Structure 1
Amino acid sequence: MMIEGELVRLRALEPQDAERLHPWTYDPEVGRWMVNEHPLSLAQVRKRCEERPLNTYGKVVLGIEAKADRKLIGVIDLRDAEPELGEATLDVYIGDAEYRGGGYGTEALRLMCRYGFTAMRLHQITLWVVAENEAARHVYRKIGFVEEGRHRESFIDADGERHDMILMSMLKGELK
């Protein structure tokens, strides 16, 4: 499956993507506002990529590829999808610093939300974002997400500091 826009295409991840994914696990900018695992070796990331489960309604994980040079630049997913409720949770990151701030993430979000609302027939897409991550919150608001609530001091950063998490959501028909 490939979903294409002007700047990016969303595609299934391949085992050979491990070489691109691995360095991002150690990039402090990528991991700053994410829940991170313990360090993984390249071999462990390769194995995870090779054993990645099939994309299903419950979890669709796609690579974000820059169309101009066909370079994997990030990952986006819709997870915990529930057909009975028509809801799913979205996660996204741009791992390649060269492509941050150039509209790639914004387009990837629009494409994935459109896919969720049309192909998956979702009614609502939610996400969680650290309150201090204003750049991400700005992009989310720009494409139609609204803030619904705050989970106080529920995120612990790499320095052990606690931060609030903001719940945001978008309903079908609100995508800008």
Structure 2
Amino acid sequence: VTMRVNQNTMLLGQKVILVPYTTEHVPRYHEWMKSEELQRLTASEPLTLEQEYAMQHSWREDTDKCTFIVLDAEKWQAHGDSAEENCMVGDVNLFLTDLRDPALGEIEVMIAEPSYRRKGFGTEAVLMMMAYGVTTLGLNKFEAKIGQGNEPSICMFKKLHFEQVAMNNIFEEVILRLLMSEPERQWLLQQTSHVEEKQYRNRSW
């Protein structure tokens, strides 16, 4: 399974649309990551624009990551897909990093635009990404690692049935986990029954 699995996939939800991360999205993404707050929340270092393009390219080729850019569905529908960069609100990732357990995905969401936070965009993006993980990537467990101070994010994952399983004091992270039992799977598919999967045609990889 690689990032390539989703390079022609877009997922249409109510508030958000998920599209693959392409070169077209890099400039806006790069602007976001200049924010010290986002660097802190995502535990990442600022990159130059060139490095960000290289990173986008490596993510696309990567075998253990699946990344979607989160777009504002309303804005996107109003403007057609001509200017995705203007509709970007964040990103959502699945990392398939446990070689012993290929059914485990670590999920991460970032709503980078402050005006879009606490409005359900992150929640829908995570639900859509988990459903994609379950139905397309064969995952049945999810894990989220969140900074101890990031209360809104911890609360959001708990509302999505994740349970706190550990605290990593070295990285100052809370680790939450969700096992997809049959009832959980049914719940997840019900929560995302409105989501449409479409062919994504992008001009710029």
Q: Between Structure 1 and Structure 2, which shows a larger proportion of strand residues?
A: 1
Choose which of 65, 68, 78 in structure 1 pairs with 2:94: 78
TM-score normalised by structure 2 residue count: 0.73
By how many angstroms is 1:104 displaced?
Answer: 0.5
Q: Deviations over 1:110-169 (max 9, x none)?
A: 1111111221121101111112211101100111111111112x23xxxxxxxx311101
Q: Secondary structure at the match of 2:74?
A: coil
Choose which of 102, 123, 135 in structure 2 pairs with 1:118: 135
TM-score normalised by structure 1 residue count: 0.84
Give the Cα–Cα distance (whole angstroms) in 1 for the partners of residues 110 and 91 of structure 2.
6
Aligned residues: 165
By how many angstroms is 1:21 displaced?
Answer: 0.3
1:160 corresponding residue in structure 2: none
By how many angstroms is 1:170 displaced?
Answer: 0.8
RMSD of aligned alpha carbons:
2.0
Compared with structure 1, are the counterparts of its residues 89 and 108 closer, same or farther at alpha carbon in structure 2 (3 Å cutoff)? same
Q: Secondary structure at the match of 1:125?
A: strand
Compared with structure 1, are the counterparts of its residues 40 and 125 closer, same or farther at alpha carbon in structure 2 (3 Å cutoff)? same
Please tell me whether the aligned partners of residues 30 and 95 of structure 1 are also in contact (alpha carbons under 8 angstroms): yes
1:88 corresponding residue in structure 2: 105
By how many angstroms is 1:82 displaced?
Answer: 5.3
2:69 corresponding residue in structure 1: 63
Choose which of 30, 33, 36 in structure 2 pairs with 1:25: 33
1:161 corresponding residue in structure 2: none
Q: Deviations over 1:17-49 (max 9, x none)?
A: 111101111213322322112x32223323433
Give the Cα–Cα distance (whole angstroms) in 2 for the partners of residues 50 and 123 of structure 1.
28
Give the Cα–Cα distance (whole angstroms) in 2 for the partners of residues 6 and 82 of structure 1.
32
Higher relative contact order (CA closer than 8 Å, sequence separation 6+): 2
1:108 corresponding residue in structure 2: 125
Q: Does 1:10 align with 2:18?
A: yes
Structure 1: 5+ residue stretches without partners = 156-163
By how many angstroms is 1:7 displaced?
Answer: 0.5
Q: Does 1:133 align with 2:141?
A: no
Compared with structure 1, are the counterparts of its residues 5 and 40 closer, same or farther at alpha carbon in structure 2 (3 Å cutoff)? same
Displaced runs of 4 or more, over 4 A: 81-84
1:49 corresponding residue in structure 2: 56
Give the Cα–Cα distance (whole angstroms) in 1 for the partners of residues 140 and 59 of structure 2.
27
Identical amino acids, percent of aligned pairs? 24
Compared with structure 1, are the counterparts of its residues 131 and 121 closer, same or farther at alpha carbon in structure 2 (3 Å cutoff)? same
2:79 corresponding residue in structure 1: none
Compared with structure 1, are the counterparts of its residues 33 and 51 closer, same or farther at alpha carbon in structure 2 (3 Å cutoff)? closer
Q: Secondary structure at the match of 1:68?
A: helix
By how many angstroms is 1:84 displaced?
Answer: 6.4
Compared with structure 1, are the counterparts of its residues 131 and 55 closer, same or farther at alpha carbon in structure 2 (3 Å cutoff)? same
Give the Cα–Cα distance (whole angstroms) in 2 for the partners of residues 40 and 30 of structure 1.
13
By how many angstroms is 1:51 displaced?
Answer: 4.8
1:167 corresponding residue in structure 2: 175
Please tell me whether the aligned partners of residues 59 and 65 of structure 2 are also in contact (alpha carbons under 8 angstroms): no
